[in-house]
Structure 1
């Protein structure tokens, strides 16, 4: 399989038309006519993920987040004076690694819709973007579940996503209509309100949005942007295997520890 065949098959499954107009999806750097030797699936395109791909003999780095949305002014070795994407593209070209990204087109897929609630044994009944049309592709997930307190839900989320969530709302409040949206919540909190959700689980949310939703009676759980979307890497890996890349040549890059939470006794 050639890189161009891999890209076209992935875009047939996750169409460009489902991506936001501002997004940058598909092949960013690489030789479309190169034979695919292996695929590393990673949330982000970084120098570390490039090196991890090369160490396993992969010449394709398939990511959820694009290496850039707007191209940097130059592509040069790593430097504090330039954005990190500059060095990633430079190094990918130098190493002969093709970088392909599936971002908001993957976010709108039925696979992404099912992924996050599925980790808790919940089933999405529609997207958050199109709550009245279960068959339509769209961002986020709307679910129903057995009644559970917000505190207990937060504990389940902590262990399912291996993170320390930030929670807004009364821990004792009962919820049964959760909404999920990986990444940034943005204005989708209002869609969750209109759809009748009583808690929204997301990656990150601005202070004033979280405060406003909480004061209006909705629980808000922020998992961390990366933690909320790492499960999408498994979707990428499954897609590669299903279109003909040998499963033994498809890898998922573990999520690195990029941020941390201090606890009592950690420091003198």
Structure 2
């Protein structure tokens, strides 16, 4: 039987810790390295719904993209949600492990998977990171690359809406719907810190999540001096970071054939509904 220690080693080979940002809190939050692992549930977020799903399925490991303890806590008492989740996992014999920015930088991570689904050619010459790793310049945060053929912004946004998981907020777009786009900049998760990055300003469209009013407004004003480019396509954070999980599960299954691995069915986007105001 495969142990947690062996799964940790596989995860390290797939998503090396050295690729993580210094502020990140990746790795195992709870779990016995010598515990046997028969089932692994993959999810974006370590929240009550995914913990319950893991325990009901009988998983011995919940693998999440976002770390539970990213922001420091001074108490894990069970009247606080992080303490309550950890207690439920420990009592249920389920470990918790996360791969966050160390997964973001690899070719098969969230952004790379989005490029795969958009049909952008693979290879270091076709996919250039915004922020390359020093020792592996073909890897890094964010990617810029070209679609095989130009498409209208309307069709591009529709394709994003088609391939991303459905969320209450849907897909928001800023730009002329008929504008043709081919060069795509993408950063899964919160990406407004890159709005002024040359990889983004030199693209036709920037696909990311969590765009705030002022950064987005300033980017659009600047784009008006550049023929309207880059257009902005803003998705739910959860949606942009869910697609890579099936590939991660497949890689774990290949390395450990005796382990069952599947992706959570829970949509953990915090927003649950919206009212359209289009007139």
Normalising by structure 1, we get a TM-score of: 0.88
- Where does residue 251 of structure 2 map in the other structure? 239
Task: State the distance in 2 between where 1:210 and 1:7 align.
Answer: 39
Task: State the distance in 1 between where 2:132 and 2:204 align.
Answer: 17
**Given the alignment of the two structures, is residue 254 of structure 1 paired with residue 265 of structure 2, yes or no?**
yes
Structure having the higher strand fraction is 2
The list of structure 1 runs, each at least 4 consecutive aligned residues, that deviate by more than 6 angstroms after superposition, is none
- Where does residue 157 of structure 1 map in the other structure? 160
1:192 shift after superposition: 4.8
- Where does residue 18 of structure 1 map in the other structure? 19
- Where does residue 120 of structure 2 map in the other structure? 122
- Where does residue 58 of structure 2 map in the other structure? 57
Task: State the distance in 2 between where 1:31 and 1:134 align.
Answer: 32
1:117 shift after superposition: 1.7
Q: 88, 95, 100: which one pairs with 1:103?
A: 100
- Kept after mapping to 2: 8 A contact 1:28/1:98: yes
- Where does residue 71 of structure 2 map in the other structure? 70
Q: Can you give the 5+ residue segments of structure 1 that lack an aligned partner in the other structure?
A: none
Task: State the distance in 1 between where 2:129 and 2:23 align.
Answer: 21
Q: 181, 186, 192: which one pairs with 2:192?
A: 186
- Kept after mapping to 2: 8 A contact 1:144/1:177: yes
Normalising by structure 2, we get a TM-score of: 0.85
Task: State the distance in 2 between where 1:254 and 1:227 align.
Answer: 13
Q: Can you give the 5+ residue segments of structure 2 that lack an aligned partner in the other structure?
A: none
What is the root-mean-square deviation in Å for CA atoms of aligned residues?
Answer: 2.2
Task: State the distance in 1 between where 2:20 and 2:210 align.
Answer: 20
- Kept after mapping to 1: 8 A contact 2:24/2:101: yes
- Kept after mapping to 1: 8 A contact 2:184/2:203: yes
